Amino acid sequence: MKSLEELIRELPPELRKEVEDFVRFLLERRKVARGKPLRQSWAGALREFKDRFTALELQKKAMEWRDD
With b meaning 16 or more CB within 10 Å and e meaning fewer, what string describes 16-30?
eeeeeeeeeeeeeee
Asked if residue 2 is part of any domain, the answer here is: yes
d(CA 25, CA 20): 9
Residue-level pLDDT at 35: 63
Read off the pLDDT of residues 13-48 as tens digits, 9 standing for 90 and up.
Answer: 999 999 999 999 999 888 766 666 777 787 888 788
Asked if residue 61 is part of any domain, the answer here is: no
Range of the domain at 7: 1-36
Q: How many domains does the chain have?
A: 1
Residue-level pLDDT at 66: 82
Asked if residue 65 is part of any domain, the answer here is: no
Asked if residue 42 is part of any domain, the answer here is: no
Q: In 1-68, where do the E strands start and end?
A: none
Asked if residue 25 is part of any domain, the answer here is: yes
Asked if residue 68 is part of any domain, the answer here is: no
Average pLDDT over residues 40-64: 82
